Amino acid sequence: MRRRSVEAFGLSFLDCICCGFGAVILFYVLMSAQGSTAVSRPDPLRAEVNRLEAQVRDGRLSLTELHNQIEATKSATASAQVRYAHLLDDMQKHALDASRFDATSLAKREHINQLKTDIQSLEAQARRLEGGSLDRAPPGQEVRAFRGTGDRRYVTGRAWARGESSRRKIRRWPARALITITAGSHTKCG
């Protein structure tokens, strides 16, 4: 007789391992089938939960959109406040410039009014002087008497304009003997 060799893993052991593995797979398949039948059955509470979960998702999306809109509004408000501050500064500068312009224009108006009153007073003086001169003789025909010696020298504008030598000569004459002649009048210089 021949002796058989001893095998550590025999056919019966492999059969047991395969049977155990098959049982686990069968158990898993059965559990999976039971779970799918439970989902396929309509449950009113589960439907309500699903509806509420959908509402929560929609609410979160709306909340995110609202947060984004709030941030956009805040940034727009900040930029509007900055523009408002710049416009307010510009308005204050323009108001200050306008008040300065009004002050200078008021001062100019007062100055113009003062000049007008000065012109009116000068015109009145000129009329008064003209009124007094109408009674007199025309210029050049008035005769004025001078007392003193008969040695007189007359200086006209022409003699003075001739040059330095003429002016030196005139300066040497005694002051009581000088008479200047201007347009229509005689004046004694001494």
Instruction: Kindly list the domain boundaries of the chain, sorted by start residue.
Output: 151-190
| pLDDT for 167 | 63
Cβ neighbours of 130 (radius 10 Å):
9
- For residues 122 and 150, the answer to whether their CB atoms sit within 8 Å is no
Report residues of the chain scoring pLDDT below 50. 182-190
Q: Could you report the per-residue pLDDT of 102-154, keeping only the tens digit for each?
A: 888 888 888 899 999 999 999 998 888 887 655 555 555 555 555 656 555 55
Q: Who contacts 149 (Cβ-Cβ below 8 Å, separation ≥6)?
A: 177
| pLDDT for 128 | 85
| pLDDT for 8 | 66
| pLDDT for 37 | 55
Exposure string (b/e) for 70-83, b if CB count within 10 Å is 16 or more?
eeeeeeeeeeeeee
- For residues 154 and 181, the answer to whether their CB atoms sit within 8 Å is yes
| pLDDT for 185 | 46
